[in-house]
Amino acid sequence: MNRATAGATRAQRIFMYERELGFTNQAVVGGLEVFTSRVEPGVAWADEVRRILSGYAGRDVRARQGMIERALAVVARVSVENVPAREPARPRPPAPSASVGSNGSGQAASVPERSPAVSGPRSRPVVTEGSEAATPLSPHSPVSALPGVGAKTVEGFSRLGINSVFDLLYHLPRRHLDRRSLTPLANLQPGQVATVMVTVVSVNVKTPARRGLTITEAQLRDESGYAQAVWFNQQYMLRRLGNSGQVLLSGRVEQQAGGAMQFTSPELETDLEDSLHAGRLVPFYAKTEGITDKQLRTVIRRALDLTGPALRDALPVEVRADENLLPFVTALESAHFPDTWERHAEAVRRLAFDEFLIIQLGVLRRRHEWQTSNPGLAFVIPEATISEFASRLPYTLTGAQSRVTAEIYGDLVRPVAMSRLLQGEVGSGKTAVAAAACLAAVRAGYQVAFMAPTDILAQQHEHSVSATLGPLGVRVARMTGSQKRKEKREIWSACAAGEIDVMVGTHALLDEDEGFHRLGLAIVDEQHRFGVRQRSALLAKGANPHLLVMTATPIPRTLALSVYGDLDLSIINELPPGRLPIKTAMIPPEKRMEAYGFLRRQVRLGRQGFIIFPLVEESERIEARAATAEHERLQRQFPDLRLALVHGRLSPREKDEVMSRFRDGHADVLVATAVVEVGIDVPNASTILIEGADRFGLAQLHQFRGRVGRGPHASYCLLLTETDAEPTLARLRALERTSDGFVLAEEDLRMRGPGEFFGTRQSGVPDLKVARLSDVHVLEAARRQAELILGRDQTLSLPDHARLRSQVEAYWNRSVAAG
């Protein structure tokens, strides 16, 4: 490639980048006219391009577009015109390792000799392989296909979860450091992270008495003063620094005993023409042994250059325009190498939108398929059903309960399968609403499957539904894993014969060898504890039955739209009248004995209590041992009280026995791990004391608190914590301040993220690389666009939607496999 062709190629890249940016005159520092003025006079194509782009900065976008297209046509001819007609072919020399080359402006980016700052946004750096344009690479290629990525690098990338080029492109920075400003040496402060432009005065290598250690030491100066830098066991620095004049250093500086400022192992940049590593917003990544930030920047830059032509934007043009989103390639590039903080924010918003859109297209398609795959069961519900149900209750339904019941009944009479999520605080009366739905199904001639995550919760639901509906002739049975085989066979036999109306149970309801006579309604309690496959297995036991899922965990809107976006949403946002608020207080370590004394006094008044403690270890054996040790310690603390112990390593039958003893008043205090988060209803319990409260999330603490306050007595939640970390204390103060579970859920999601919102990583929680579930506006925009897209093309079969369809299918195939 001769000089004219090389210059034209650089210009072509600049003009194409300007087109990507929407003709904003920001593709290079100073604008396009400054760029063309730097190309040496007398080069024919450059003179013509200068004429075309004259006055570019003052023209409107439409005029600029025409000017860029004409300029591109000129430089596109150059590669043909400048090839010598009869020059014999020469073998291509071996490609050197990738170097950071031009900044796309036709010449090296100028770095002022003694300027205190590197100003202006930087144009896109271009990494080239050899002397010719590299062949485009598929993003699905293995990462080893990238030039310069050897076996050791592949191994390191694998530890980071990077196997394909696409994985590498989506290995986004954890942070960026602003290295656009240079600090004079005289202004350095101890502990400061600074970027300096200096002259290397001298370099030497020291070998202390300690074997295996070398220290490379450089003396530095600029016009304001002196400093030094040291590197340990990096002797190659001698060669790099010895051949340099001015260099850029970036790193943390500390003051030495003699007063000198010293950089320790700073990043060094000797190529000041253009750089990924200095003079810009510089990305820093999650790393592993043998992989450096500098290496990641270089390889990712190379991957962006080589895959750019193969990366196609899946978003239809009208969606990008409606939401004012960057083109995909521009967004991906700016997420790594932004010119400004504003451009980085735009890039992240675009990539987050993509993730949310794929999820929303998936959940909305899943709901449509669920509703249209088979005809729904349109229940014929006798008019007197609601009044018949209400007559059996010892209380009046709240307004919220009545509203939600009407929503459910409205779904049940339609010839489309219901798919609804019922949210409500602990004690808000969800079970009563579920019982009303059960009665509607039974009166319409159908059976109900009511699935709960634990034996104790299944037992409580059976008791509640039987007490309410039994007198109305509804036959209720329970099926759990702890029952004997003979008993299970007898119950399933009766169910298959239509002799059971409501079957309440745990995972045992999913027994693939058993079935229902006429299943019309499936109810799933504490939905987040079941995966997609389990829910589908339950529904498969009927002919497209209606589905109602319930949760006592208030779920933020963004998480509900993502995890349960295929469900319609009903919220019971009102508690029954007369419920006393639970008094919540943080207890510091020095007042622990006072808290214990308060619990003892409550028991002496005839009440019961809980003591919850966290387990740091996840080993099954260690969990059981730690729980037992804690129980023994507390028994010594409360020798006059009857303490029961329940933990996660007990068998379901053992848990049921302990919790039943506590519920029936045969124990004063239940010592427990997180297994009591859901599933036990003891109206006489008035106090819950939570050890190590700082180790639980807000949503989980709120669930613990809901174990008390279920009776007529004043109730208390005591949060014992030994932390003085302000973020943790702020979280606990939020719990003191409010009893609104939805407010706490939003706060918990913001603080801890979706992965830990439910206490542990749960089935169905989206694995987001860019988006955050606190990005409410981005998610709602994606939901809106998903509805518009599917309104036009429900199957995503139009050519404009082909890439979206393949991404949706790939994402949901992974989700089903995982859950």
State which CATH number among 2.40.50.140, 1.10.10.410, 3.60.150.10, 2.40.50.100 fits the domain covering 183-278.
Answer: 2.40.50.140
Express each pLDDT in 208-241 by its tens digit. Answer: 877 778 899 999 999 999 999 999 988 888 888 8
pLDDT at residue 257, rounded to an integer: 86
pLDDT at residue 761, rounded to an integer: 43
Measuring CA to CA, which residue among 351, 384, 362 is closest to residue 790? 362
From CA 337, how far away is CA 360, in angstroms rounded? 29
The rounded mean pLDDT for the chain is: 81
Express each pLDDT in 431-484 by its tens digit. Answer: 999 999 999 999 999 999 999 988 878 888 999 999 999 999 999 999 988 788
From CA 28, how far away is CA 53, in angstroms rounded? 14
Which has the minimum average pLDDT: 498-507, 549-558, 660-669?
Answer: 549-558
Residues 6+ apart with CB under 8 A from 362: 808, 811, 812, 815
What is the arithmetic mean of pLDDT over 81-109?
A: 34
Within 444-521, residue ranges assigned H as helices are 455-469, 485-496
Which has more pLDDT, 129 or 731?
731
Q: For the chain, which residues make up each domain, given as ranges?
A: 1-86, 183-278, 398-413+428-551, 582-738
Q: Please provide the distance, in angstroms rounded to a whole number, between the alpha carbons at the two ends of the chain.
A: 54
Cβ-contact 646, 680 below 8 angstroms: no
pLDDT at 34 over 90: no
Residues 6+ apart with CB under 8 A from 629: none
Q: How far is CA 156 from the centre of its chain?
A: 24
Which has more pLDDT, 176 or 73?
176
pLDDT at residue 399, rounded to an integer: 92
pLDDT at residue 439, rounded to an integer: 96
pLDDT at 818 over 60: no
Which has more pLDDT, 8 or 185?
185
pLDDT at residue 130, rounded to an integer: 32
What is the arithmetic mean of pLDDT over 745-769?
A: 59
Q: How far is CA 295 from the centre of its chain?
A: 26
pLDDT at residue 676, rounded to an integer: 63
From CA 581, how far away is CA 740, in angstroms rounded? 11
From CA 720, how far away is CA 238, in angstroms rounded? 56
CA atoms within 13 A on the CB side of 202: 3
Express each pLDDT in 515-535 by its tens digit. Answer: 899 999 999 987 656 666 777
pLDDT at residue 71, rounded to an integer: 86
CATH number assigned to the domain covering 398-413+428-551: 3.40.50.300
Which has the minimum average pLDDT: 106-110, 237-241, 514-518, 677-681?
Answer: 106-110
pLDDT at residue 581, rounded to an integer: 85
Helical (H) or strand (E) element with 304: helix 293-307
pLDDT at residue 13, rounded to an integer: 77
% of the chain beyond a pLDDT of 70: 84
pLDDT at residue 343, rounded to an integer: 93
pLDDT at residue 134, rounded to an integer: 47
pLDDT at residue 126, rounded to an integer: 36
> How many other C-beta atoms lie within 10 A of the C-beta of residue 151?
8
Which has more pLDDT, 250 or 133?
250
Helix (H, G, I), strand (E, B), or coil: what is residue 752?
A: helix
pLDDT at residue 101, rounded to an integer: 31
From CA 702, how far away is CA 736, in angstroms rounded? 10
pLDDT at residue 135, rounded to an integer: 56
Express each pLDDT in 726-745 by its tens digit. Answer: 878 888 998 998 888 877 87
Please identify which residue in the block is written with the tokens 């003052």.
Answer: 58
Measuring CA to CA, which residue among 346, 351, 281, 355 is closest to residue 22? 346
Tokens at residue 316, please? Answer: 């239809």
CA atoms within 13 A on the CB side of 589: 5
From CA 392, how far away is CA 432, in angstroms rounded? 11
- pTM score, two decimals? 0.61
The greatest distance separating any two alpha carbons of the chain, rounded to the nearest whole angstrom, comes to 106
pLDDT at residue 481, rounded to an integer: 80
Tokens at residue 494, please? Answer: 């009766």
pLDDT at 427 over 50: yes
From CA 249, how far away is CA 272, in angstroms rounded? 11
From CA 752, how far away is CA 739, in angstroms rounded? 19
% of the chain beyond a pLDDT of 90: 35
Helical (H) or strand (E) element with 423: strand 419-424
pLDDT at residue 268, rounded to an integer: 85
pLDDT at residue 181, rounded to an integer: 80
**In this structure, are strands 246-255 and 281-284 parallel, antiparallel, or unpaired?**
unpaired
Helix (H, G, I), strand (E, B), or coil: what is residue 744?
A: helix
Within 706-775, residue ranges assigned H as helices are 726-737, 741-752
Express each pLDDT in 352-382 by its tens digit. Answer: 999 999 989 988 888 888 777 767 889 999 9
**475, burial (CB in 10 Å: exposed 0-12, middle 13-18, buried 19+):** middle
State which CATH number among 3.40.50.300, 3.10.180.10, 3.40.50.11540, 3.40.50.720 fits the domain covering 582-738.
Answer: 3.40.50.300
From CA 819, how far away is CA 813, in angstroms rounded? 10
Which has the minimum average pLDDT: 186-195, 604-613, 679-688?
Answer: 679-688
Angle (nearest 5°) at CA 181 between 176 and 184: 130
pLDDT at residue 4, rounded to an integer: 62
Express each pLDDT in 792-805 by its tens digit. Answer: 999 999 998 999 99
pLDDT at 746 over 80: no
What is the arithmetic mean of pLDDT over 582-607?
A: 94
pLDDT at residue 342, rounded to an integer: 93
What is the arithmetic mean of pLDDT over 392-397?
A: 86
Cβ-contact 356, 782 below 8 angstroms: yes
Strand partners, 629: none
pLDDT at residue 623, rounded to an integer: 58
Which has more pLDDT, 552 or 563?
552
